[in-house]
Amino acid sequence: MATLQFEEGVNRPQAKASHCRQQLLVNILDGMANVKPNATYAHAPISPVGYDKGFRRITYHRLANAVNGLGWWITAQIGRSASFDTLLYLGPNDIRQTAIIFACIKAGYKCLFTSHRLQLCDTQSLLRSTSCKAILTSDPLGFHIPSIKDGCPLPIYQVPPLNTLLVEDYPSYPYKKPFEQAKHDPFLVLHTSGTSSTPRPMVLKNDWLATYLQSLHAPSPPGFECLESRMRGCRVFVMLTPYHVHGVKSFQGANLDITVFGALTNETPIILPPAEAPVNVQTLIQGLGTIDADVCYVPPHFIEEIANNQKYVEIVTSRASSLVYAAGKVSEAHADIMSAKMEFWGRYGATEQGTVPSLRALGGWDCTMYNYIIPHPTAGWQFRPYSSSNDETIYEAFIVRDVENLKVQPVFTLFEELEEYPTHDLFLAHPRIPGAYKWCGRTDDTISLSTAANVNPMIMEHGLDQHQHIKGVLMIGNGRPRPALLVEPNDCAVSNQSFIDGIWESVEKLNRAYFVDHRILKSYIIVTNERERSSCTRRNCGHCMNHAQIDMLRMSM
């Protein structure tokens, strides 16, 4: 169902469905707080580290009150902004993530979220490129803030505690702009993944957000339903981490896609894990033991761990009706286990376009479609041949401007000069269902791990290409928890172990450019020959290598 809609600056419900009107999300929040103050926005654990104290039900009244409190706090600490200055927020996985966005908007700022996995230099680059004015945080000594400040000397402000914001009452912080006046104002700043270059800030404006939300509410063609409709009004247990930079299967704001966009426009109550607990499968399983959820929304590497544990499978399937993943690939073996037992599917998108509105045929759930998308016809997607081999065609996806449907094509609010937008994502067509495609790689050869991290292989490959004992090298690992290395020696007479020992020092030096869990382990180096390496592509690396070696590697992963 679509939520009540509100006139700009007027807190009364309108009869029009959400896909018919462009809205400011800040007005929807204030409208809900006035018209449906006791409706549930979220269930959040009272304890920051566990579920032993139960859950706190957070209403729209309390959320809007927290926004007002933070808005007045920002104004008192920093002053109002007349030019949408940027404020970086770093904090735990609690509702302050949502509240700070709207508080910044009311005080005239725009909020920047960054991934906790970014290199320090990349975070500092984002602060400089956005002319960030200050850092807001729950912990001035946490989140690597002292190191960030060393490179970018900025004032740091500690936001009020969560309990204070939820318990104390604050006067309303007014926001009076209508949509037409505010449509080009910034809503939020995210950033690109930085896999092929320094992460670039991406300012999402109100017109982008309104267009994106309308795209998810567009009426489905006869005989189809939009997958998004299966989550509307449901209780969604959100296990995506804060500031998660998502891979090709989702966009950087995939966490916000549920906790902010979906919650407010669909009246979808969210369930949060403990704010300071590890965001892992064990935390999800413990949570499902204390509260029922309709949908579990998880990163892809959760699927493997759940599917490999029969007890976890029983808990998830008995306590939720749907399992949805975003931000990467899942292995088909593990996906098959889950899809046979419950509604299971993935969401695809990117920061520039949001999640793609994808259709499913009515008349029963097809458990084989979890990896496929059928883009809504109004989205303007075209799949064009990119390459062919072994009777298999790979397609690149383009989004083509459609004058009649521009209000549901968010990417063209960012790139107004373009007639078409190349996604650089590669797909395979469904063998039987027309219009259905599954993601299989990137034109830039980025490796997308199952942990939702993107890895640039060029540093490792270019570095080892210069090694005197190496004839060829390829980093692989799409859909796996960490990458591996396929290496061909110059001298095939040398034993594999001697060859690996001989190049290991060089691999270790190049590993320093990567996060610890993205580095090549010695046991993840596969020695191969020219025929095997040349037939391998990063998108289909499991199809063509020495199968005994690959099977052994997969078991170790």
pTM of the model: 0.80
d(CA 89, CA 328): 25
Q: What is the pLDDT of residue 238?
A: 94
Q: Is 240 left (phi over 0), alpha (psi -120 to 50) or beta?
A: beta
DSSP state of 483: -
Encoded amino acid at 513, one letter: A
Question: Does residue 442 carry a pLDDT above 90?
Answer: no
Mean pLDDT over 362-390 rounds to 88
Asked whether residue 357 carries a pLDDT value surpassing 70, the answer given is yes
**What is the rounded distance in angstroms from the CA atom of residue 482 to the CA atom of residue 119?**
18
Residue 557: the pLDDT is 41
| Residues 410-419: contacts with CB under 8 Å, at least 24 apart | 410/208, 410/209, 410/211, 410/212, 410/215, 410/353, 410/354, 411/352, 411/353, 413/205, 413/207, 413/208, 413/211, 414/202, 414/208, 414/352, 415/352
Q: Which two tokens stand for residue 60?
A: 């729209």
Measured between alpha carbons, how far is residue 246 from residues 448, 450, 543 in Å? 9, 10, 25
pLDDT value of position 361? 92
Tokens 């009777």 belong to residue: 391
- From 3-12, 175-184, 317-326, 337-346, the region with the lowest mean pLDDT: 3-12
Q: Say yes or no to pLDDT of 269 above 50.
A: yes
Q: Could you say which DSSP state residue 161 is in?
A: P
b (16+ CB within 10 A) / e for 491-524: eeeeeeeebbebbeebbeebbeebeeebbbeeeb
CA distances to 68, 164, 225, 229, 353 from 357, in Å: 33, 38, 10, 10, 10
Residue 11 predicted with pLDDT over 60:
no
Residue percentage of the chain with pLDDT more than 90: 56
Using CA atoms, how far apart are residues 384 and 267, in angstroms rounded to an integer? Answer: 37
Of 106-110, 322-326, 492-496, least confident by mean pLDDT is 492-496
Q: In percent, how much of the chain has pLDDT > 70? A: 87
CA-based R_g, the chain, Å: 24
Q: Which residue has the tokens 């008349």?
A: 363
Give the separation between CA 379 and CA 375, rounded to whole angstroms: 7
* Least confident window among 83-92, 95-104, 255-264, 451-460: 451-460
pLDDT of 441 = 73
pLDDT value at position 552?
40
E strand residue ranges, 146-268: 156-158, 186-191, 201-205, 224-226, 236-238
pLDDT at 390: 60
| Token representation of residue 466 | 């210069």
Whether 21 shows a pLDDT value over 80: the answer reads no
Among 16-25, 362-371, 377-386, the range with the most confident prediction by mean pLDDT is 377-386
- The contacts of residue 294 (CB under 8 Å, 6+ apart) are 231, 234, 235, 236, 320, 321, 322
Q: What is the pLDDT of residues 444-485, one digit of tens each?
A: 777 878 877 777 787 788 788 778 889 888 888 888 889 999
- For the CA atoms of 415, 418, 419, 421, the dihedral, rounded to the nearest 10 degrees, stands at -70
Helix (H), strand (E) at residue 35 = helix 25-35
Share the mean pLDDT of the chain.
85
CA atoms of 283 and 271, how far apart (whole Å): 12
**Predicted local confidence at residue 35, as pLDDT:** 94
Q: Does 183 or 17 have the greater pLDDT score? A: 183
**What φ, ψ does residue 329 adopt, rounded to 5°?**
-95, 160
Mean pLDDT within 490-513: 89
The whole-angstrom separation of Cα 211 and Cα 357 is 12
pLDDT(551) > 50:
no
Output the pLDDT for position 150: 83
**What token pair was written down for 267?**
């009246």
Q: Is the pLDDT of residue 518 over 70?
A: yes
Q: Which domains does the chain have, with CATH numbers?
A: 5-10+27-412+419-429 (3.40.50.12780), 457-556 (3.30.300)
Kindly indicate the confidence band of residue 193, based on its pLDDT and cuts at 50, 70 and 90.
low
Cα distances (Å, whole numbers) of residue 537 to 44, 403, 485:
44, 37, 13
Residue 239: per-residue pLDDT:
93
Q: 211 pLDDT exceeds 70?
A: yes
